[in-house]
Amino acid sequence: MSDNTTSRPRPELGGNLLGPEPTHLPDELDRPVRERDGDDPKKVAADHPTSPLAWALLAEEASADGDVIEAYAFARVGYHRGLDALRRAGWRGQGAVPASHEPNRGFLLCLLHLVRAAEAIGETGEVERLKDFIAESDPSLSGATTLAP
């Protein structure tokens, strides 16, 4: 008879068996930007360059001004800043990034702005990849063009 008492990790009862736990970015990432609501977005981004929300606000302003290339560039920077922050928070390239968690919203806004700008410049493949990423991050955002307050 073999001894089956070898120690193996066992899944936690009630744990998520379908994939990784949702990733929640730290509040400190975007709080300083939220506290400066109404300030010049370029100054805010210069003061808080690691904040995805700061770049999302710049992308929003550029989009409103009709500058698609600038909106794309700002959203792309915010997207990469967000990926960096997600990795620091334990994200490993997949899993939920829920919009219900306020600090995640800056990153998700960058994704939404990036979709719009990529559509405007004809980046069809990128648009589809981004839409898939958004749906995986938070299924409630599938087809969304902005985040509800």
Are 30 and 53 spatial neighbours (Cβ–Cβ below 8 Å)? yes
Rounded Cα–Cα distance for residues 58 and 68 (Å): 12
Cβ atoms < 10 Å from Cβ of 66: 9
Query: In this structure, what token pair is assigned to residue 89?
Result: 């928070």
pTM: 0.85
Q: What is the mean pLDDT of the chain?
A: 90
Rounded Cα–Cα distance for residues 135 and 142 (Å): 5
Query: In this structure, what token pair is assigned to residue 23?
Result: 């990733």
Does the structure show a pLDDT above 80 at 18?
no
Does the structure show a pLDDT above 90 at 146?
no
Mean pLDDT of 128-135: 97
Written in H, E and C, the secondary structure of 4-42 is: CCCCCCCCCCCCCCCCCCCCCCCHHHCHHHHCCCCCCHH
Rounded Cα–Cα distance for residues 51 and 30 (Å): 6
pLDDT value of position 17: 64
Q: What does the domain layout of the chain look like in residue ranges?
A: 50-141
pLDDT digit string (tens) for 69-100? 999 999 999 999 999 999 999 999 999 999 99
User: In this prediction, what percent of the chain has a pLDDT beyond 90?
Assistant: 80
